[in-house]
Structure formats: C-alpha cells, structure tokens
Structure 1
Amino acid sequence: MVKQDLQNEHQQWQTEQKQKVKTLGLCTFVWLIATALLAFGPKFLWDFNTLLTVIAVIVNLLTGTAMIMANRAHLRSLDEMQQKIQSEAMALSLGVGLVVGCCYQLLHNVRLISFEPELAHMVIVMCLSYMIGMIKGGVKYR
C-alpha cells in the first residue's frame, strides 16, 4: 500500500512538472511573439503609430510578467537538487551578464570597438552561460 502511494505521489509530481514546463514554454513563446511585434511592428506593420506602439509595449510587459511568474512557479516545483542546479546556472548567467555587459559597454566608451554594443549580444552571452551552467550542474550532480 505504501509503495502504491509513493508511486501515485511520484506520478502526480511528474504530471505537475510537465504542466508547469508546458505553461512556461507557452508563456515564453507568447512573450517572444510580443517582443517581435514590439521590435518590428512599428516599422513594418503600423508606421510608428504611437497608440499601437504603446499597446505593444504594454502587451510585452504583461506577457513578460506572465513568463516570469510561470518560471517562478516552475522553479518552486522542482526538487532540491534541480533547484540547486538552476540556482547555480542562473547565478553564473547573472554574473557573466553583469561583468561582460559592463565591459562590453566600456569597450565602446573607450573606443576599442567602433560599433554600438547591442543588447541582443548580451542576451546570447547570458543564454549560453546559463546553458553551460545547466550542463555543468547536470554533470556535477549526476
């Protein structure tokens, strides 16, 4: 009986995990669409109409907030080891993003690079460092 209860509890936890991951994926996808709409809509869809652009900004902020809340719910649902791996990967990503981002901006300010630093470059750096942290944590705690 106890074994069956444990199996049921584990199965319920797995079902909840899958649902949280699906919700997070959907929220992330919707935010990406809203970001693309904000980035390209004013120029290509509505000729920089102020009202439509403000609406796109609000939609982007709301969908971003939903994504953050879904990510938080997902993180809270993880077991302790998974939370530790996620926490270490996020700390690495934040640290790399802060250090590299500041240095990247200063490279332009001191004229070591001739182009304006782009936020997209930093997003890529942070995503890559997060993935490295996740892989490293997965190997470390295997």
Structure 2
Amino acid sequence: MNKQETNSNNWQARTKKNTINLGMWTFAWVVTTAIAAFAPKFIWDFNTLLTVTAVVINVLVGFGMIFANKKHLHGLDEMQQKIQSGAMALSLGVGLVLGCSYELLEDIKLISFEPEISHLVIVMCITYMIGIIKGGAKYR
C-alpha cells in the first residue's frame, strides 16, 4: 500500500468516526429534547427541579452536538466543506428571514395563532437538505 492510499484510508476512517460521533450526539440531543418536552407532562407531573434539570442537560448535550458537528466539518475535504457551508448559510438565511416574518405576522394580527419554533426548525431542515442536494449536484 502506498502513502497516498494510506492517507486516503486514514481520512476515510476519520470521516467515518466523526460522522458516527456526530450521529450519536445528534441522537442524544433529540432524546434529551423529547424528555425535556414531554416528561414534565407525562412522567413527573410538572416537577420544576426535574424539568429544569432536563432542560439544562438538553442544552449541554446540544453544545456537545455543536462541537461534534464542528469536528465533523473540519474533517471533511474542501469540496464537502464548501457544500456544507453553502447549505448552512442558506438554512440560516431562510430561517432568519422567515422566522422574523412569521413572528411579525402574529404581531400585526395577520395570523390568529402563535408561531411555533417547530415550524421554523422544519423549514430550516428542509432548506438545509435542499442546499446539500443542490451543492452536491453542482460539484459533480
């Protein structure tokens, strides 16, 4: 095996490890989010201490997910970083613009319901996926 193949194998192994690590942190964050959202009502009957603890744990696991994502991104090659960066910029921009406009609709009484953050999260996730797909197609 030559040096280039060894470096390629090391990069692939590191990328796989970083991807799995990010997946585990993301899964843990989703689980802690579900616990913080649903356990107060269905498990511990709105116990304030347990609820605050669940939210704090969720935030800490969320920061772990952020750091795992950063490590994952730094381990990607330049093209993959460019695709990810473009998709994240698109998602952030769409989320910011639509999120502010969505809240404004309620403030000026053009919608009768209170905007939910989950709607914004869904829009940002869809936008991110579109950005990844378009970025991947652009660099093929």
Determine if the TM-score, normalized by the shorter chain, exceeds 0.5. yes
Alpha-carbon offset, residue 129 of structure 1: 0.5
Alpha-carbon offset, residue 110 of structure 1: 1.3
Q: TM-score, normalised by structure 1?
A: 0.96
Q: Which amino acid aligns with 1:71?
A: N
Alpha-carbon offset, residue 21 of structure 1: 0.3
Alpha-carbon offset, residue 113 of structure 1: 1.0
How many pairs are equivalent?
140
Q: CA RMSD in A?
A: 0.8
Q: Give the SS at the match of 2:2.
A: helix
Give the Cα–Cα distance (whole angstroms) in 1 for the partners of residues 16 and 35 of structure 2: 28
Q: Which amino acid aligns with 2:76?
A: L
Task: Write the deviation string for residues 44-90 of structure 1: whole angstroms up to 9, x where unpaired.
Answer: 11011111111101110111011000000000001111111100100
List alignment gaps of at least 5 residues for structure 1: none
List alignment gaps of at least 5 residues for structure 2: none
What is residue 87 of structure 1 aligned with on the other side?
85
Q: TM-score, normalised by structure 2?
A: 0.98
Give the Cα–Cα distance (whole angstroms) in 2 for the partners of residues 65 and 131 of structure 1: 22
What is residue 40 of structure 1 aligned with on the other side?
38
Identical-residue share of aligned pairs (%): 61
What is residue 111 of structure 1 aligned with on the other side?
109
What is residue 49 of structure 1 aligned with on the other side?
47
